[in-house]
């Protein structure tokens, strides 16, 4: 089989400073094992496979794979997949792109040159238990006094979020990957506009304890769950920008906006590789 292949940079307009995503179009003929093998081979944080929808209202169906597992939902794969689907000239069935995935139907909105998805409901919320918190603190080499709060913010991948005092505190984290096995931890801290300007209001980092452990450059699902938590609790305004990736040389920008009952998570998507995948 020869399939349409795109690799796009999500959440940044600066070349090679966002979060890359591989997208394979027309993947209905691939088996589960082939999808998993291809995602392991691309070795990106996620690879997506676009298929014909099974829901009558959906424009397409997507399956999302990391190098190690399949995810029910993820943010930057949602925006990147919607961009690729739209770039191929596909016609939408309504005024939004409606993506079908294992987490349900995800509306994707067009906002100027950007795309934005409606944050899905969280599967788990509330305070983090002491045992889980102790493991997270040890893995990130933090003390209890370093954090303001810890909450579950799981919309599929399983995120736990630690809220730190400042952006500098977030950027100073040095994880011990050997202690983070099986954990997915987000960290968020506020920018100081007096020192750092108004380009963004929050700094975010994402630590994934899979394999040898790695830091995700820019994470839509994590930012979606963080936005729901911070806006609902009055910590964040109804519209803000989050910065992510600075600690690993990226320049991600996630645009958050509360619109009615939805929280929209938006960003730029730029194509970087255009070609075919031979299977």
Residue 219 structure tokens: 């994470």
Separation of alpha carbons 177 and 181, rounded Å: 7
Q: Hey, which residues does 208 pair with through a beta bridge? A: 184, 214
DSSP state, 218?
Answer: S
Nearest to 62 by CA among 37, 14, 97, 93: 97
DSSP state, 17?
Answer: -
DSSP state, 44?
Answer: S
Catalytic, 46? Answer yes
Residue 106 structure tokens: 């995800």
- Judged on CB neighbours under 10 Å (0-12, 13-18, 19+), 264 is buried
Q: Hey, which residues does 176 pair with through a beta bridge? A: none
Q: CA angle, corner 264, sides to 122 and 13, nearest 5?
A: 120
CB 22: neighbour CB atoms within 10 A? Answer: 25
Q: Which of 2, 14, 46, 196 is catalytic?
A: 46
Q: What are the catalytic residues? A: 46
């Amino acid at each position: 089989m020869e399939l349409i292949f795109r690799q796009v940079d999500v959440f940044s307009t600066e070349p090679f400073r966002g979060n890359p995503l591989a997208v394979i179009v027309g993947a209905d003929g691939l088996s589960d094992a082939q999808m998993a093998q291809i995602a392991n081979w691309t070795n990106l944080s996620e690879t997506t496979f676009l298929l014909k929808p099974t829901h009558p209202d959906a424009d397409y169906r997507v399956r999302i794979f990391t190098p190690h597992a399949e995810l029910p939902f993820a943010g930057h794969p949602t925006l990147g997949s919607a961009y690729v689907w739209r770039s191929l000239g596909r016609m939408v069935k309504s005024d939004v792109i409606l993506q079908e995935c294992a987490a349900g139907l995800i509306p994707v909105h067009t906002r100027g040159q950007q795309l934005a998805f409606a944050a899905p409901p969280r599967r788990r919320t509330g305070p983090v238990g002491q045992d889980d918190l102790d493991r997270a603190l040890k893995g990130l080499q933090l003390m209890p006094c370093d954090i303001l709060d810890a909450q579950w913010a799981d919309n599929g991948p399983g995120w736990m979020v630690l809220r730190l005092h400042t952006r500098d505190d977030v950027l100073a984290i040095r994880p011990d990957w050997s202690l983070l096995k099986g954990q997915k931890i987000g960290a968020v801290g506020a920018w100081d506009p007096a020192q750092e300007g108004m380009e963004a209001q929050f700094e975010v980092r994402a630590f994934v304890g899979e394999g040898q452990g790695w830091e995700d450059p820019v994470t839509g699902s994590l930012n979606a769950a963080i936005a729901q938590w911070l806006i609902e609790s009055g910590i964040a305004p109804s519209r803000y920008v989050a910065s992510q990736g600075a600690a690993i040389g990226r320049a991600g920008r996630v645009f958050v906006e509360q619109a009615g009952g939805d929280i929209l998570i938006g960003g730029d998507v730029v194509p970087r590789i255009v070609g075919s995948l031979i299977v």
